[in-house]
Structure formats: C-alpha cells, structure tokens
C-alpha cells in the first residue's frame, strides 16, 4: 500500500483520477456533506467516494429533486454552499426545479452532474442531455469539463462564483472519461476572475446622502429581505434600527433577520403579511429597502406603490435596482457593509407617534383576524392555531421548514422567530414538495437544533418518498401535516375569485399515519382540538423522527390578503365583509 501511494507521486505531485481530484477539491473547499443520487455516468465518482468515508458524508435521497432541496436547506441553515451530485440525462434534469429554486432565492450551491463520455456528446447517446443548455437560465454560471486536468480549476471557479456577490447556484458537468482519466493534481482556490467583480467598494457619498435622508424623515420604514441574512448583518440591522428608532418589516425570506418580539418589529410584508406594514407602506415618507428586490408579492400594484415616499435601495445586485420600483437613492453594495458604515452617521431618534400607528394596526388585525385564528372558540382546528402553539412550545427557538401554500403563509404569520436563519422556505419559485427534503437538509446541517416542518397534504405527497431518506439515516425531523384534503391555496383563490368553483383541488388522501409507520416513523392523527397540545408535546419530546397528521378546517383561508391587482394599502381583512 505504501509503495502504491509513492507511485502516485512524482516530484511531490499526485497523479490521480479525475473522480478523486473532484473529491479532493471539494475537501479543499471545506465540504463535508453531499446530497445526491448515483447513476451510470457518475459511477467513477461514487466509487471513489467510498475512499473518503469519515471525511465526506453522502446523503442518498430518494429522488434528485429531493437532493437539490436538501442541499439548499443545508446551505440556508449553515451558511456554507450546498453540494449536490447527480448522473447524466434524467438525473441532471431532475435537479432543474431545485436549481431554479436556489437561483431565485440567491442560495449558494454547487451542482456536480455527470455526462456521457466526451466522444459521444452530440450523438444522442443513452442518457445524454444538454444540461448546460437546460440549466443556463437558472444558474449563475455553468461549464462542462471534458478533460481530467480541468476539474480542479472548474471546481475552484464554481465555488468562487457561487459564494461571492449575490450568491447562487452553479453547475459543473463532467464527462465520464474525465472522471476516469489521470491528472497531476494541484488545487488553488479561486480569488479573482477577469470581468467578474463581486465586491464593489463602498459608495460612501451615497451612504452619507442616505443618512441625511434618514435623519430628516418623520415616517421612515425599513423593509429588510434575504440579503440581510445572506450578509450575516442581523446585528447591524438591529443596532441601526434601534439607534434611528425605525420600524422594521420583513419579507418572507427575510423573516428571522429581526426578532419578532422586538418593539420595532413592524411585521411580515407581502400578500398574506401583516396588516400594519402593508397598509402603512403607503403612509411612510421614507422607505429604506435592504437586501430585498421589491417582488410583486411585496409591492402589489406597482402603479399605487409608495408614491408618497422617497426610497433608498441597498442591494448587492445592480440588476435589481430600479427594476420594479424606481428609487431616489441607490446604494449598490453589500447590506452588512452599508449598515456598518451607516450606523455612526444616523442620529439617535425616536418615532413613537409613527410606531404607534403600527400598534393600532396590530390591534385591528388581532381583533379581526388573529384572535379567532389562534384561539377559536369552536369549529375545526385551524392552521394558525397549530403554528402558534408550536411557536409557544418551542419559544420561537426551532428551525422552521415549510412547504408552499397555506401552510407556508400560516407558518410565516404565526411562528415568532427569535434566531437568524431559522426559516427555510421556497420564496421566489414557490415549489410545492420543497418542505420534506428541505427538512432533511436543515437537520443534517444543524443537528443541534429542533427542526420542524409544516406541510400541506398536497405538497407532502409530491416528495413523500423522502421519508425513505429519514428512515435510512434516522433523521429526527418533526413533521406536521396541516391536512385539509385540498390544495389549500389554490382552493382559497377559487373561493375568493372563481365563485367557489373548486376545479381539481379536492384531494383523496391515503392514510398518512400508516405510510409513516411503513417507514418506521412514529405517527399520530389529530382530529380534536382537545388532543392537539398533548400531541404537539409528544412530537417535541420524541428523540427520533415523528409525524403528526393534523386534520384542520377544510375551507379555512389565510388572511389578511393583498388581492391581485390591489394596492398594498387595500388589504382585505375579511373578504366576506366586502
């Protein structure tokens, strides 16, 4: 064995296969966990992966889409890029939804796909697909490697691009012969690429102008998004808001960037967000948008959005500035760097009269929506009731994963996040089926934290096979199905805008408890309110995975709602009263 190792080195340089070079390069970038699914074209990599046991952990999901979502969640809770393997053809194309999801939510990920041998490219060989062409619109960068000696450089470039500037997914497609052929291995991390300048020097003049605008505002409002969390600027946001006395509203992906119990917390923005931040956006005289992109679910009707306000936009991606909303002052820099520079320049201030307006809105929303949702006097169990009870039992300290739809909006509205990076959800893409595999990735990345996933019965069945991954690795995630036997959000729209014509939204569901038991996961069905709290306590006390199938109100709606085409100030609290 010693002689073999010596033969691998010539003048101190290792001569190894492309597959081994790939894995050594990943180690050099600090990778310890990979999510993936093997196949013919990537077999050389998986064969060599056995030699890296103890250094690199591989999680075999039950579908490539599941691997992509798990790797994204892993990245979101750890701050490290998520790594995902797949083979050629259907293996790589099954990743596309997950790649697009990470692209729209700006999550750093490195996807490694295999390709047929280079001599067969273009011949329609078995399981050949042009994954570069397919993935180009939803990757920050992609490339194909046909020679073993090019693997280390491609990996280094991939990590640099994925993690710098506005982060996002990259894809490296490696032919099978490149995985097998030998190279003299040498690895250097990438720190510079010509024509790619991810770090922009601070625009101090613009920051000084922003401070003047902030110091003269009477009704300033901070809108903070995912960019705050990406730049790890939660402390700076809190310090800045407290010094300037400015209320802070959060986008969906910005939730957990500012503590929910803070006196300056204005609430959750967006179509199903809180009443105050939506309504009062059109009352503010200054909006400071930090690391958010003025998504349509936040702005509502752009023609009626914040016309009375001056707008400062702090954003790392210049393409997002003036794309949807024209702003008065642009600061094209990293959110954390800007906030650090801004804090000394803003005056110590208090906007108590302005903040009181948010509290008045909170009271209105409590009386007309929240009270009956979280403390109903009669009727079936409600979504918000379940989420609120989980929030109280965990004291807001768990990592919450959601699928997409009513379960997602209820979790965003009623869980009180106290720690940064404690919400994992699909924002821009709105991917049903995201939740269960994402819970696998979140718990893998943060085994020290309680990870609870809220699912709708529809989204759960889209990736239900990932119960097999939970069984395989005994991943102690806590699964709560908010089961109303409908595609709930689609049904809500049919209720509100299509005269209750429920077309293809009612579900005939299997016995989820029996299915969970088939995967050796303890489970319980909850049908009565009197059983709910004890069931949730039992779920949280369980050491391993656990599933609760909670039968909720069949035709419950998530309110308030900014209806399509409406202004953010035209918030519907109860559409039946209109």
Q: Has 144 been annotated as catalytic?
A: no
pLDDT in tens, 317-337: 999 999 999 999 999 999 999
Q: Which residues contact 68 (CB under 8 A, 6 or more apart)?
A: 35, 84, 95, 97, 98, 99, 101, 102, 109, 111, 437
Mean pLDDT of 487-495: 97
Domain ranges of the chain: 2-185, 204-357, 380-552
Residue 247 has φ and ψ, to the nearest 5°, of: -65, 150
Task: Retrieve residue 129's tokens.
Answer: 């697909």
Name the CATH superfamily, with its identifier, for domain 380-552: Thiamin diphosphate (ThDP)-binding fold, Pyr/PP domains (3.40.50.970)
Report the top-level CATH class of 2-185. Answer: alpha beta
pLDDT in tens, 42-62: 999 999 999 999 999 999 999
Helix-strand-coil split of the chain, %, nearest 5: 45, 20, 40
Residue with tokens 């821009």, as numbered in its chain: 428
Q: CA angle at residue 7 from 5 to 13, to 5 degrees? A: 85
Mean pLDDT of the chain: 96
Q: Alpha-carbon distance 283 to 45, whole Å?
A: 58
pLDDT on residue 8? 67
Residue with tokens 């069984």, as numbered in its chain: 471
Active-site residue identified among 126, 235, 326, 363 = 126
DSSP 395: T
Q: Are 171 and 7 in contact (CB under 8 A)?
A: no
- Which phi-psi region, left, alpha or beta, contains residue 122 (left: φ > 0; alpha: ψ -120 to 50)? left
Q: Do the domains at 2-185 and 204-357 have one common CATH topology?
A: yes
Q: Has 127 been annotated as catalytic?
A: yes
Q: Are 298 and 270 in contact (CB under 8 A)?
A: yes
Handedness of CA 181, 183, 189, 190 (dihedral sign): negative
Active-site residue identified among 76, 109, 489, 496 = 489
pLDDT in tens, 126-139: 999 999 999 999 99
- Over pLDDT 90: what percentage of the chain? 97
pLDDT on residue 377? 87
Q: Which of 197, 359, 194 is nearest to 274 (CA)?
A: 359
What is the band of 576 on the pLDDT scale with cuts at 50, 70, 90?
Answer: low
Q: Which of 437, 479, 489, 486 is nearest to 458 (CA)?
A: 486
pLDDT on residue 267? 97
Q: Are 50 and 44 in contact (CB under 8 A)?
A: no
CB atoms under 10 Å from CB of 409, counted, come to: 27
Q: Alpha-carbon distance 248 to 259, whole Å?
A: 10
Q: Which residues contact 487 (CB under 8 A, 6 or more apart)?
A: 405, 456, 458, 505, 507
- Over pLDDT 70: what percentage of the chain? 98
Active-site residue identified among 52, 80, 127, 527 = 127
Active-site residue identified among 20, 64, 320, 563 = 64
pLDDT on residue 281? 98
For the chain, state the CA radius of gyration: 25
- Which phi-psi region, left, alpha or beta, contains residue 267 (left: φ > 0; alpha: ψ -120 to 50)? left
Task: Retrieve residue 220's tokens.
Answer: 């300033």
Q: Alpha-carbon distance 132 to 136, whole Å?
A: 6
Q: Are 37 and 61 in contact (CB under 8 A)?
A: yes
pLDDT in tens, 421-436: 999 999 999 999 999 9
Q: Answer yes or no: is pLDDT of 209 > 60.
A: yes
- Reduce the DSSP state of residue 201 to 3 states and report it: coil
Q: What is the pTM of this model?
A: 0.96
Q: Alpha-carbon distance 174 to 21, whole Å?
A: 12
Q: Alpha-carbon distance 494 to 206, whole Å?
A: 46
Q: Has 308 been annotated as catalytic?
A: no
Q: Are 441 and 74 in contact (CB under 8 A)?
A: yes
Q: Answer yes or no: is pLDDT of 353 > 70.
A: yes
CATH of 204-357, one of 3.40.50.1220, 3.40.50.880, 3.40.50.300, 3.40.50.410: 3.40.50.1220
DSSP 428: S
Q: Has 176 been annotated as catalytic?
A: yes
């Amino acid at each position: 064995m010693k002689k073999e190792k010596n033969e691998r080195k010539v003048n101190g340089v290792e001569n190894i296969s492309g597959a081994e070079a790939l894995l050594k390069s990943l180690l050099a970038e600090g990778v310890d966990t990979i999510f993936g699914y093997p196949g013919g074209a990537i077999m050389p990599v998986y064969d060599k992966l056995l030699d890296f046991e103890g250094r690199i952990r591989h999680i075999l999901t039950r579908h490539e889409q599941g691997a992509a979502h798990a790797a994204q969640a892993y990245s979101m809770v750890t701050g490290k890029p998520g790594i995902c393997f797949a083979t050629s053809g259907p293996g790589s194309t099954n990743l596309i939804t997950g790649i697009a999801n990470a692209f729209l939510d700006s999550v750093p990920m490195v996807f490694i796909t295999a390709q047929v041998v280079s001599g067969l490219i273009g011949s329609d060989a078995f399981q050949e697909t042009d994954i570069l062409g397919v993935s180009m619109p939803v990757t920050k960068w992609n490339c194909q490697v046909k020679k073993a000696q090019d693997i280390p450089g491609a990996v280094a470039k991939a990590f640099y691009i994925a993690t710098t500037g506005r982060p996002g997914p990259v894809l490296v497609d490696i032919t099978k012969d490149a995985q097998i052929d030998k190279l003299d291995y040498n690895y250097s991390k990438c720190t510079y690429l010509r024509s790619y300048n991810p770090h922009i020097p601070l625009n101090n003049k613009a920051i000084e102008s922003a401070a003047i605008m902030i110091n003269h505002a009477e009704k300033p409002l901070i809108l903070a998004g995912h960019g705050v969390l990406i730049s790890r600027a939660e402390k700076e946001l809190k310090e800045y808001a407290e010094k300037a006395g400015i209320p802070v509203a959060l986008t969906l992906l910005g939730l957990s960037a500012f503590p929910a119990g803070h006196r300056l917390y204005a609430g959750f923005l967006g179509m199903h967000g809180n009443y105050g931040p939506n309504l009062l956006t059109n009352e503010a005289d200054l909006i400071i948008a930090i690391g958010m992109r003025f998504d349509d679910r936040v702005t509502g009707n752009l023609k009626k959005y914040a016309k009375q306000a001056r707008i400062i936009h702090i954003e790392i991606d210049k393409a997002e500035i003036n794309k949807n909303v024209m702003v008065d002052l642009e600061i094209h820099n990293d959110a954390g760097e800007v906030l650090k520079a801004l804090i000394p320049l803003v005056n110590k201030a208090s906007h108590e009269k302005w903040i009181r307006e948010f509290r008045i809105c909170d009271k209105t929303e409590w009386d007309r929506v929240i009270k009956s949702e979280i403390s109903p006097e009669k009727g079936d169990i409600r979504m918000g009731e379940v989420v609120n009870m989980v929030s109280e039992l965990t004291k807001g300290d768990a990592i919450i994963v959601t699928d997409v739809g009513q379960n997602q909006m209820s979790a965003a509205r009623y869980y009180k996040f106290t720690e940064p990076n404690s919400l994992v959800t699909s924002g821009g893409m709105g991917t049903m089926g995201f939740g269960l595999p994402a819970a696998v990735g979140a718990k893998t990345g943060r085994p020290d934290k309680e990870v609870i996933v809220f699912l709708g019965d529809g989204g759960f069945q889209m990736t239900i096979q990932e119960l097999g991954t939970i069984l395989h690795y005994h991943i102690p995630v806590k699964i709560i199905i908010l089961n109303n036997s409908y595609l709930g959000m689609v049904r809500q729209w049919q209720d509100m805008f299509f005269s209750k014509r429920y077309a293809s939204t009612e579900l005939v569901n299997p016995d989820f408890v029996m299915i969970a038991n088939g995967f050796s996961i303890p489970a319980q069905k909850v049908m009565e309110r009197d059983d709910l709290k004890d069931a949730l306590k039992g779920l949280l006390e369980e050491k391993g995975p656990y599933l609760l199938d909670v039968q909720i109100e069949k035709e419950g709606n998530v309110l308030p709602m900014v209806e399509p085409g409406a202004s953010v100030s035209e918030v519907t609290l109860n559409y039946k009263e209109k």
